[in-house]
Chain A
């Protein structure tokens, strides 16, 4: 056992850092996929095709009704059995976080697009914009202010939820912490450090989301 708490923390730092890098990688990839998927979802939902809306609705409800942890197990155990595809647990976590995040971001994007005045769409169409131009140049830029604060909040939820990856065997920051605890029995110190790690990643994002929401409240 290490002689003192600071000393212990110092020597376990590289291992924790490697775990933290994995956690941040899962979160970052999840956030990228959630954002791309979410914008796609939002635009498709705003187009207003009946069949498309039904499909998106089913997708959304499945991700709302089934908890993320259950999705992790479904993908982790289910993909090999049902589709004979075996993907590493790291990518299982990225896939689930991305798909779940896309449904959440998608609803935000859809809501922001629908809150824009009708005249914007009509004016765009009347000057002959193609629909990708209409969304790319007129609608999405205006919706950006409404969707950014709630989307940042979803990012913090993705980061927090990435912690569940440890339960399907990803060696991320919690697993790294547990390995150090097995060696040193310093569970209070390590779990305390993990707690602060997530707090210092998520708190700035939540604070930014709140500040932006206040600043843009009248936009």
Chain B
């Protein structure tokens, strides 16, 4: 078995672009998911009438179904109802639908993890609800949910490989494309593996480091 290194090098520009697409889909999805999650978590924390139940239902539906089905529904089923979306748009919509639900749970858990005594002592020194939220709850909830938020960001970034199924030209789609065109299977699999390790391994190690640091920070509180 010999590696066609010249061929591997010739595909580098294409893979460079593919990494760009992976990051683009991932980062946009993370941003939109976070936006959805902040709105939803606020509704959950304040128990806004009616909306609260709606958010709960959405979170359960999105968290208990596979991304691939959600993606196929948006990409293949919606057009028959007259809503046509591109692969890229379907990818962003689906990942926001799923990611928004995961991040909502993370933020809600973060707020709930703030000890009740913090709320009570805040009220007892006469803080208004808004001040309580801004100066007491959010700073602590933010720190508490940071590792889980970060873990979910990495998860979303890795999930972008699934949107290769609707022809978004990210790293996996590009790999499959080259395999289909030139039969350079092992060269392309090697490139794909290398890219995954380069992209995701440092993030995963950084997450482990952050988790350890913040665990130490919690001692004594």
Among A70, A161, A187, the one with the most B-chain Cβ atoms within 10 Å of its Cβ is A70
**Number of B positions contacting A (CB below 8 A):** 39
Residues on the B chain within 8 Å of A70, using CB: 161, 172, 192-193, 196
B176 beta carbon closer than 8 Å to chain A:
yes
Choose the segment among B11-19, B71-79, B115-123, B141-149 that binds chain A (4+ C-beta atoms closer than 8 Å).
Answer: B71-79
A81 beta carbon closer than 8 Å to chain B:
yes
Residue of B whose beta carbon sits closest to that of A187: B77
The CA of A185 and the CA of B185, in the complex, are separated in Å by 35
The CA of A61 and the CA of B203, in the complex, are separated in Å by 11
B10 beta carbon closer than 8 Å to chain A:
no
Residues on the B chain within 8 Å of A174, using CB: 68-69, 72
Among B66, B76, B161, B197, the one with the most A-chain Cβ atoms within 10 Å of its Cβ is B66
| B204 and A164 form a contact (CB under 8 A) | no
A195 beta carbon closer than 8 Å to chain B:
yes
| B196 and A77 form a contact (CB under 8 A) | no
Choose the segment among A11-19, A85-93, A199-207 that binds chain B (4+ C-beta atoms closer than 8 Å).
Answer: A199-207
Chain A interface size band reads 35 or more
CB-CB contacts below 8 Å: B151-173 with A: 158-159, 161-162, 164-165, 172
A123 beta carbon closer than 8 Å to chain B:
no
The CA of A74 and the CA of B161, in the complex, are separated in Å by 13
Residues on the B chain within 8 Å of A73, using CB: 172, 175-176, 189, 192
Residues on the B chain within 8 Å of A78, using CB: 185-186, 189
Residue of A whose beta carbon sits closest to that of B60: A203
| Contact with A161, one of B66, B179, B201 (Cβ below 8 angstroms) | B66
Chain A min CB distance to B105 (Å): 11
Residues on the B chain within 8 Å of A82, using CB: 1, 186
CB-CB contacts below 8 Å: B31-82 with A: 60-61, 63-70, 72-73, 76-78, 80-81
The CA of A74 and the CA of B190, in the complex, are separated in Å by 9
| Contact with A61, one of B68, B172, B205 (Cβ below 8 angstroms) | B205
| A81 and B196 form a contact (CB under 8 A) | no
CB-CB contacts below 8 Å: A84-116 with B: none
CB-CB contacts below 8 Å: B178-216 with A: 179, 185-186, 189, 192-193, 196-197, 200-201, 204-205
| B64 and A203 form a contact (CB under 8 A) | yes
Chain A min CB distance to B219 (Å): 15
| A191 and B72 form a contact (CB under 8 A) | yes
| B69 and A191 form a contact (CB under 8 A) | yes
The CA of A14 and the CA of B63, in the complex, are separated in Å by 27
| A202 and B162 form a contact (CB under 8 A) | no
Q: A70-B192, A191-B77 are in contact. List 4 more A-B contacts (CB 8 A).
A: A188-B77, A191-B76, A192-B77, A194-B72
Q: Pull 23 A–B residue pairs with CB atoms less than 8 Å apart, ordered by A.
A: A65-B204, A66-B193, A66-B200, A67-B161, A67-B196, A69-B161, A69-B162, A70-B192, A73-B172, A77-B189, A78-B186, A82-B1, A161-B66, A163-B66, A164-B66, A164-B68, A167-B68, A192-B73, A202-B65, A203-B60, A203-B64, A206-B60, A206-B63
B residues contacting A by CB (< 8 A) are 1, 60-61, 63-70, 72-73, 76-78, 80-81, 158-159, 161-162, 164-165, 172, 175-176, 179, 185-186, 189, 192-193, 196-197, 200-201, 204-205
A residues contacting B by CB (< 8 A) are 61, 64-67, 69-70, 73-74, 77-78, 81-82, 156, 160-161, 163-164, 166-167, 174, 181, 185, 187-188, 190-192, 194-195, 198-199, 202-203, 206
